[in-house]
Amino acid sequence: MDEWDFIFHQPFITEKEKMAYLSFLRSLLKDRPYVLLVYMTGILPIAKYSSGSELNMFTEFTMAKSPAFSDYFGFTQAEVDDLYLRYQNTCNDMRVTRTGLQQWYNGYHTASGEQVYNPRSVVQALRFNELSNYWTSSGPYDEIYFYIENNIRAVRDNLTLMVSGMAVPAKISEYTT
């Protein structure tokens, strides 16, 4: 199920309809013998919307913290090299450099410490022949604004410190509620 949480980002969907959707997912997936493996993608984890046992049968895996699968959540250096070679062989007016790709998109590490790149961003940059922030076009920022506006776990304070040039040690998962 791709983007299972899409409905939660729509302003016209009521809270009652969101709960009905969770009930639908529960009846479709929970304790069903035909569901051996479900792969669901979305921006936010199911636990954010599920108040208890509605959908408690999933294990969450993220790009930033999943040792068992971290090797599969991004492009490795070698894979980006291969894609870049294809780009060089097919593009007449190259505006993307290999160094540029590394500076823009290699923000994650596997459990073994290997740098990995955001797949969507690398593909879009090579496809459109331009380095840009393609990740932001993939989903809404309502939740980020909520954390900043309400200073959840001092995220606004930490952002202020970072903008002023100070380093702030943080684990990304600690900012979730």
Give the per-residue pLDDT at 174.
43
| Rg (the chain; Cα; Å) | 19
CA distance 48 to 58: 13
- pLDDT score, position 176: 45
Is 129:94 a contact under the CB 8 Å cutoff? yes
pLDDT tens for residues 73-129?
Answer: 788 899 999 999 999 999 999 999 999 999 888 777 777 788 888 888 999 999 999
Specify the pLDDT at position 64.
Answer: 59
End-to-end CA distance of the chain: 24
**What is the per-residue pLDDT for 140?**
54
What's the pTM value of the predicted model, to 2 decimals? 0.55
pLDDT over 60 at 137, yes or no = no
Between CA 59 and CA 84 the distance in angstroms is 34
39-86 confidence digits (pLDDT tens): 666 655 665 666 566 677 777 776 656 677 777 778 889 999 999 999
pLDDT band at 173 (very low <50, low <70, confident <90, very high): low
User: 141 pLDDT exceeds 70?
Assistant: no
